Structure 1
């Protein structure tokens, strides 16, 4: 692919202000919150992973910051999930099974930790058998 065509394709792939989380989901600012767009087969943990990764790496928030799900579970197929840092905009539930969770929020660190199960492992990551 020619360099100019590559840059054009990259520009059309995601808005300039979009953030691609480590699991490949795209996160975009949305008013006083942010939206994680749907992309293929993605469950609640995938959306939370992207939200936590965005909060920590893009917004540079402390991992102890609570992130709230603003759009109520259950989302319909193809719909994005909206998140906020404002507890007054919180949905009643996170969409996750979390022991001891109250309301629709978890820490950014907990959310980003859900990415751990999504990272592809290579042979150098495996222990000796």
Structure 2
């Protein structure tokens, strides 16, 4: 089984377990991809950080694997961002300013690299 198909199979067959990324955002499997849930003020780099962290630490993907944003930018307030490993589900844009980005995807390593210099947010009870 190819690594991409295996990772997709894991997200479909594994129980819907939430993962807290290193920046504090919560990621959950959804359909054949995953969603980074909204949790207080967060920008595109925060959502991509969580997506890359999930792809590498939970799905055990190679950092060169492309992760695709499936929900078109701009997201509405309080809305999460959906991601997939399937290029056919890609949004037209990543929501980031990235030179050379192809459609709505960047590598898992690049996405996780957006976590650098970001601390977990101090969430209030209201955000939970």
1:119 shift after superposition = 3.1
Stretches (4+) displaced over 6 A: none
Q: How many residues align?
A: 106
- Taking the aligned partners of 1:82 and 1:93, their CA distance within structure 2 comes to 13
- Taking the aligned partners of 1:17 and 1:100, their CA distance within structure 2 comes to 34
Q: Secondary structure at the match of 1:115?
A: coil
TM norm structure 2: 0.80
- For structure 1, the 5+ residue unaligned runs are 1-14, 121-129
- Taking the aligned partners of 1:64 and 1:16, their CA distance within structure 2 comes to 25
- For structure 2, the 5+ residue unaligned runs are 1-14, 121-128
Give the equivalent residue in structure 1 for 2:119: 119
In 2 relative to 1, CA 36–98 (structure 1 residues): closer, same or farther, beyond 3 Å?
same
1:102 shift after superposition = 1.6
- Taking the aligned partners of 1:36 and 1:46, their CA distance within structure 2 comes to 9
TM norm structure 1: 0.79
- Taking the aligned partners of 1:116 and 1:38, their CA distance within structure 2 comes to 20
Please provide the CA RMSD for this pair: 1.4
1:100 shift after superposition = 1.1
1:34 shift after superposition = 0.0
Q: Secondary structure at the match of 1:82?
A: strand
Q: Secondary structure at the match of 2:114?
A: helix
- Taking the aligned partners of 1:39 and 1:119, their CA distance within structure 2 comes to 14
Higher radius of gyration, 1 or 2:
1
Give the equivalent residue in structure 1 for 2:50: 50
